[in-house]
Amino acid sequence: MSAEKKTVTLNMGPQHPSTHGVLRVKLELDGERVVTAEPIIGYLHTGIEKTMESMLYYKAIPATDRMDYLAPMSNNLGYCLAVEKLMDIEVPEKVKWARVCLVELTRVASHLVWLGTHSIDLGAMSMLMYAFRERELIIDLYEACGGQRMMTSYIRIGGLASDLPADFEKKVRNIIKTIREKMKDYDKLLTENPIFIMRTKGVAVISAEDAINYCLSGPMLRGCGVNYDVRKANPYSGYENFDFDVPLGKNGDAYDRYLIRMEEMRQSLKIAEQAIDGMPEGPYRAHVPGVVLPPKEDVLYKMESMIFHFKIITDGFEAPVGSVYQAIESPKGELGFYITGDGTNIPRRVRVRPPSFVNLGALPILTEGHLLADVVCAIGSIDIVLGEVDR
């Protein structure tokens, strides 16, 4: 350190437990105060968009799981809705309701991981174990549906990978009941915990104007009182049929974002309950020959279905020339897929609008001028997943 330089450069990450993955933050410190904070990303860049642009439309679904690996169903849904929009496919009612149910439980699972890791960052050790214990129930449900615990790929173009399991309703009701009960414990542990409040209230503050200027979305935006939730503003997959509230914050600090995510979990459970109550009967895939795979049972016994299955698997389907964008409200914010078809069976462009990436861009304004210890709280309260930031 030279004599005239008064600040210290500190590298936080890429291997640091509180950066939630391989995020590196280059900090200039003046004592305990952060002068500048520069997030450096790209350590997990695997070219997912390039990969998706080189394969048939439905083969890209497993790649979507691997972006936000804490909310695989949301990513599946976003991609499938975009392709369905491009191909102009209408899915059966049952599929819509089942998707809503699964995606809302995914939001709960994702928020549980956030709750556990965020509170362990701030020193509340026991929360992590409780949160993961409850998340396990939802992961078990994934396994019952798609056979996979994390990389589900359960939502497919035009429907679902298979019909819902026989004990789906029982499992979902058990999840709703258990998590509702346990959320009371979380409230007792954190919401009025003086240490937790001191670590989060008034920390990592962003104003509504700045949040809009930084293009934020999700709880980061709603934490400062801007009412924008894709589920309400532009309903997709039948969200207009559900009754739920969008919680809003006032101060735009880490504590408000905590309260919003807790309330979102309660609302998600409410939506999942409505979905399971009103689940209609019907097929689990749309009937669109040549585009949507026929049900597996038919493929085994019907000649025509087998031919279609073979054709779609080997050649795919040709998409029209044109671009579509479909946004969904993922647990992290607005997740969008911009897909450009060019008349062939391979997409010309698949762009993912990653909420974590855009939200992370606001890290400097959240931390500069504040204490080093609050950087940990700021990163935690943005709720990033580096798989999605870097893609």
Question: Which positions touch another protein (CB under 8 A)?
Answer: 41-42, 45, 47, 49-51, 53-56, 85-86, 88, 210, 212-217, 226-228, 233-234, 316, 321-325, 327, 334, 336, 338, 340, 342, 344-346, 348-349, 351, 353, 357-358, 360-362, 390-391
CB closer to another protein, 179 vs 260: 260
CB closer to another protein, 57 vs 154: 57
Write down the least CB distance from residue 22 to another protein, Å: 12
Q: Strand pairing partners for 371?
A: 33
CB closer to another protein, 113 vs 319: 319
CB closer to another protein, 41 vs 203: 41
Q: Which two tokens stand for residue 310?
A: 């073979």
Write down the least CB distance from residue 302 to another protein, Å: 27
Write down the least CB distance from residue 170 to another protein, Å: 38
CB closer to another protein, 116 vs 223: 223
Alpha carbons 306 and 314: distance in angstroms, whole number = 12
CB closer to another protein, 108 vs 339: 339
CB closer to another protein, 60 vs 98: 60
Tell me the residue ranges of DSSP E strands in 168-306: none
Cβ burial 120-133 (10 Å sphere, 16+ → b, else e): bbbebeebbebbee
Write down the least CB distance from residue 389 to another protein, Å: 9
The C-alpha R_g of the chain, in whole angstroms, comes to 22
Largest CA distance in the chain: 82
Alpha carbons 191 and 286: distance in angstroms, whole number = 45
CA atoms 281, 168, 69, 190: torsion sign: positive
Write down the least CB distance from residue 228 to another protein, Å: 6
Write down the least CB distance from residue 341 to another protein, Å: 10
CB closer to another protein, 43 vs 132: 43
Do residues 34 and 55 make contact, with C-beta atoms less than 8 angstroms apart? Answer: no
Q: Which two tokens stand for residue 208?
A: 């509504």
What order do you get walking across the sheet with 349-353 strand by strand?
322-330, 333-341, 349-353
Write down the least CB distance from residue 108 to another protein, Å: 25
Q: Strand pairing partners for 28?
A: 9, 36
Cβ within 8 Å of residue 282, ≥6 positions away: 92, 93, 94, 95
Half-sphere exposure (Cβ direction) of 340: Cα atoms closer than 13 Å = 6
Write down the least CB distance from residue 75 to another protein, Å: 16
Write down the least CB distance from residue 198 to another protein, Å: 30
CB closer to another protein, 191 vs 207: 207
Query: Phi first, then psi: what are they for 330, rounded to 5°?
Result: -80, 170
Alpha carbons 259 and 157: distance in angstroms, whole number = 35
Cβ within 8 Å of residue 370, ≥6 positions away: 33, 34, 203, 204, 378
